[in-house]
Amino acid sequence: MPSILVTGASGGIGRAVAEKFLSEGWTVGLMARRESLLREVADGRTNAVVLPGDVSDAASVEGVFADFLGRAGRVDVLFNNAGIFTPAAPIDEIPVSDWKRALDVNLTGMFLCARAAFGAMRRQDPMGGRIINNGSISAHVPREGSVTYTATKHAVTGLTKTLSLDGRPFDIACGQIDIGNARTELLEGIVQKARDAGEAPPPSMDVTHVAEAVWNMAALPLEANVQFMTIMATKMPYIGRG
């Protein structure tokens, strides 16, 4: 059976994607820091591989990939998903520690996981695979006060383009999915902030639509690639905002 490793699989978009691939019979590597939550996602299924680890730690990432390859035999797809938000503020009010934390997870974490997946895909037999990076609407247009998140997501687009180019000789495809407001626990803070201000909650969509979109990207043969996909709530102020 084909295999996928999902980072940030303990909740939100990562969990929804992992559950979709588990239901389709793939071998699914579940990577996140909290093992107890990963075991909830796995729910005793034999095609789930629980892989506690920290994407921002090079040794941890190497260990996770070695464990997954030892149990699954190969990695066909990486859903490079793990990411964090830091508190919104103008740049002069943002602690340097928040900037560094966002870089560590949102950018260095994606680099480390892509690096490990690329190396495995290049050397496995048959050679090749697919890397799907989780970008964001913020890879194109930011929200106010989001310099840490927005800068890292713009950088992810550069990572995606370079991996697409470097992967060609090795049958490694790389695409990016840019996701708008999906109803997950991460959106709850934005919704609550709007309600506290007496405003309507922002338009959002069911997270299962995101999982289906990732599935459609991953299920393609390696001769085809979705380079960039934007999926969002229809009424989000993306087109024309700014």
* Omega before residue 126 within 30° of 0, cis: yes
Can you state the angle between helices 147-167 and 109-123, rounded to 10 degrees? 10
Q: Name the nearest CA neighbour of 17 among 171, 154, 177, 161.
A: 177
Q: Where are the alpha helices (DSSP H) in the chain?
A: 12-23, 35-42, 58-72, 96-102, 109-123, 147-167, 185-196, 207-218
| Residue 238 is among the residues annotated as catalytic for this protein | no
Q: Name the nearest CA neighbour of 217 among 140, 134, 107, 142.
A: 134
Q: Which candidate in 20, 153, 193, 235 is catalytic?
A: 153
Q: Which candidate in 20, 149, 161, 193 is catalytic?
A: 149
Give the pair of three-digit tokens for residue 99: 């900037």
Full strand arrangement of the beta sheet holding 27-32: 48-52, 27-32, 3-7, 77-80, 129-134, 172-179, 228-231
R_g over Cα of the chain = 17
Q: Find all residues with CB under 8 Å of 174, minimum gap 6, and list them.
A: 114, 130, 131, 132, 133, 160, 163, 164, 167, 225
| Residue 153 is among the residues annotated as catalytic for this protein | yes
Active site residues: 149, 153
